[in-house]
Amino acid sequence: MKFVRMFGFMAAVAIGLAALILLTMRLGWWNPSYDSVMKAQATAPSTFETYGTARIHMRDEGPRDGPVVVMLHSSMTNLREWDVWADALKDRYRVIRFDWPPYGLSTDSAPSTGMPGVVKLLEQIVEAKKIDKFAIVGTSSGATIATLYASAHPEKVTALALSTLPLKAPPPTDFSKLMWSMVWVHENVVPNYYPRFYYRRSLGELYGKPERLTDETVEWSYQTNNIPGGFERVREYYQANLKAVWSKGAGDDAAKVTAPILLQWGDADPVLPAYLADDAVKEFSGTKVDLIHYPDLGHYPMLELPEQTAKDLRAWFDRTLAPAAPAAAR
């Protein structure tokens, strides 16, 4: 009986401690502040620029007279996703990357209109910086945004380099039971916070080989996604996309694209399976598509195998944009 009472006491303490942890998470006590994340992540050469109601975290690097490349990150990430690829290009190309709301350190006081709103933001940035023509690098939802922009502004876009591209709402993802249990707790108990362990686990499941995931990637993912109020803004953005994009998909927009395309695809991606790469090639019916398959990569080629995928991107840009970018010593 003494053992039973001791076990019951320990179980009650454990349950109480778990409840306390969840309560303090729900109250926002665990979330990093915006200022602390900005201090950690908005290091040189970061700047902040205002466009309408939006305050945008941006990095603009490389020669000002070089061919311009704009990089659009995926959902639940930010401009840090492009660190290695930007470094591989900026000796010869002017590389502009920014956090698009609701992600990263960028903020917008206006209600989200989903991907069409990001397209309008890109239009404002291009106009303000007086950019006549440029190439776009985009991945996942950022690749969809790139497609929407290129469809509407064929006169502006010189090339598209896309990876893991959804042209319609993605199929259900086969995550582990542990992952789905953490998602359930987040959605039903702690809607404004995910612990570091979640990012290590979720990113690992999105990699072809989880051992390639770095502590640095986990840390900036944890910090920027847990900024107070961030998940509420993300939910608003997702709801806008259901009405604005995913109700019809972006296949019609893809058919209007005329710029040459590089498609880099991780065949081990659990979100966007390899067969969708071949579907995308068919839907870009108005242009030439160069497709590179990476058999053991997942959803983030630029994070999982950054040097090799950056080398492939650079080689393609040097060939495709050669008239606008004369050969330079490396």
* Mean per-residue pLDDT, 39-68: 97
The span from the CA of 265 to the CA of 57, in Å, is 28
Give me the pLDDT at residue 136, please. 98
Cα distance between residue 103 and residue 145, in whole Å? 14
Q: Point out the least confidently predicted range of 8-12, 166-170, 296-300.
A: 8-12
Whether the predicted pLDDT of 263 surpasses 80: yes
Tell me the mean pLDDT in the region 254-258: 97
Average pLDDT, the chain: 93
Three-state secondary structure along the chain? CHHHHHHHHHHHHHHHHHHHHHHHHHCCCCCCCHHHHHHHHCCCCCEEEEECCEEEEEEEECCCCCCEEEEECCCCCCHHHHHHHHHHHCCCCEEEEECCCCCCCCEECCCCCCHHHHHHHHHHHHHHCCCCCEEEEEECHHHHHHHHHHHHCCCCEEEEEEECCCCCCCCCCCCCHHHHHHHHHHHHCCCCCCCHHHHHHHHHHHCCCHHHCCHHHHHHHHHHHCCCCHHHHHHHHHHHHHHHCCCCCCHHHHHHCCCCEEEEEECCCCCCCCHHHHHHHHHCCCCCEEEEEECCCCCCHHHHCHHHHHHHHHHHHHHHCCCCCCCCCC
The mean pLDDT value for 114-137 works out to: 98
**Helix axes 115-128 and 141-152, enclosed angle (nearest 10):** 60
Confidence of residue 93 (pLDDT cuts 50, 70, 90): very high
pLDDT tops 90 at residue 322: no
Residue-wise pLDDT tens digits, 42-52 = 999 999 999 99
Measured distance between the N- and C-terminal CA atoms of the chain, rounded to whole angstroms: 77
| Residue 207: pLDDT over 90 | yes
At residue 6, does pLDDT exceed 90?
no
pLDDT at 169: 87
295-304 pLDDT, tens digit per residue, is 999 999 999 9
* The pLDDT of residue 2: 66
Q: How many Cα atoms are found within 13 Å in the side-chain-facing hemisphere of 316?
A: 26
The angle subtended at Cα 281 by Cα 279 and Cα 285, nearest 5°, is 110
Q: What's the rounded mean pLDDT across residues 186-199? A: 95
Give the mean model confidence (pLDDT) for residues 106-113: 97
From 54, 65, 34, 12, select the one nearest 328 (Cα to Cα): 65
Mean pLDDT of 244-268: 96
pLDDT beyond 70 at 7: no
Average pLDDT of the segment spanning 113-137: 98
Q: What is the mean pLDDT of residues 306-326?
A: 87
Confidence grade of residue 253 (pLDDT, cut at 50, 70, 90): very high
Q: Is 324 exposed, middle or buried (0-12, 13-18, 19+ CB in 10 A)?
A: middle
pLDDT at 314 over 80: yes
Smallest CA-to-CA distance from 232 within 78, 81, 107 is with 107
Cα-only R_g, the chain: 21
pLDDT of 15 reads 76
Structure tokens at 97: 């990357």
pLDDT greater at residue 226 or residue 27: 226
